[in-house]
Amino acid sequence: MRTSLILLACVGFAQSLVRVPLSHLPSVRSRLRAANQLDEFLREHQPDFFSRRYAHCYPAAQHYLHMGGRSKERLFNFMDAQFFGQISLGKPEQNFTVVFDTGSTDLWVPSSYCVSQACAMHNKFKAFESSTYAHDGRVFGIHYGSGHLLGVMAREELKVGSVTVQNQVFGEAVYEPGFAFVLAQFDGVLGLGFPQLAEELGSPVFDSMIAQGVLDEPIFSFYLRINGSGFGGELLFGGMDETRFVSPINWIPVTQKGYWQIRLDAVKVQGALSFCYRSTKGCQAIVDTGTSLIGGPARDVLLLQQFIGATPTAVGEYLIDCVRISSLPVVSFLINNVEYPLTGEQYIRRETLNNKEICFSGFQSIDIPSPAGPVWILGDVFLSQFYSIYDRGHNRVGLAHLSGRSQISV
């Protein structure tokens, strides 16, 4: 009898953990580069992706950063998104590939009524085929560097991994701007930020999961891998996978709800350079799965690029001689008194173009004014080296070093 109870308890626990496999595929930027169209695209659009994504961080007085009405300039950096997973909407299920993004909060997918070229290249939601669809009637608009994504709001049954969320608010995009969306390897976005960012589309998916009691704990966690195999790791709802990391977990309080924003004590470059250390507040950092790079204040990052010997390109990227990677300095992030070092092999991005390997710096300049101090963005270059945990129950982020098994998983 006791054995049966233990087995039942294990089954119940397994059901409360929702596993979503992730794929790692080339970003829009990489595909544009491979097609010899990146320079032309960036010259024409001159997008300031980071300031648009983090417009919510700017002082309220800078009202020109907001579109007014229900259209706000905030969403993920779609040019560099590279980790994707599957969800389904409706009954019968309609499948979509999405970016699971901690830097935004809304859920949207293309509508069957979309008139854009980009929609023709992706899966589209067909409301008339679903028995569980409920029309909302409201409209939404989200600004990108190349124009506005427009759509209508609805409610539907959503399936993520093994869990079903009832009556989930989502957006049906009827217009997707720009050529970049045509090349994107995702259909839409599922945001995992705090509900304070959800002015566009109502209750976020993770909040719905918590409210409907389908998870064991109000936690989700990411294991991200960049290894060239297409395997991108795993997103886990309802807890964490303790086989993926080694204890202890460094728990860092969220300093401002919206993004997963935390305090960053210092950024160090092998004892020769140090940023944030002059401020008693340190810096702020946004932990962001929807951005591939590590971003920092322009003056600091320029010094960092010069120190590692990176040279700028015409489109704002920084190149590194690939043969120098093994001799590059270690860049460390001090968070809650714990140091997280990155070697050159870890912060340099490699791409192959015309059978030639090209190496890019994984750092990018941004400037986001904040009353709490300078802001850095910890994107996938950082997050792929550690296990990250997002705890809404205690409003904190957990970071842990990967286990030996996880470092070689494919």
* Eight-class DSSP state of 125: B
Contact in structure between 73 and 55 (CB atoms under 8 Å): yes
Task: Tell me the residue ranges of DSSP E strands in 7-133.
Answer: 18-24, 71-72, 83-89, 94-101, 107-110
Helices of type H across 68-200: 117-120, 180-183
User: Who contacts 67 (Cβ-Cβ below 8 Å, separation ≥6)?
Assistant: 73, 141, 143
Active site residue 101: yes
β-strand partners of 397: 252, 390
Active site residue 216: no
Using CA of residue 364, residue 365, residue 370, residue 372, what is the dihedral sign?
Answer: positive
Report the residue count for the chain: 410
Candidate list 106, 288, 300, 380, residue with the active-site label: 288
Candidate list 101, 106, 300, 391, residue with the active-site label: 101
Distances (CA, A) of 108 to 105, 117, 149: 10, 17, 10
Contact in structure between 60 and 212 (CB atoms under 8 Å): no
Residues labelled as active-site residues: 101, 288
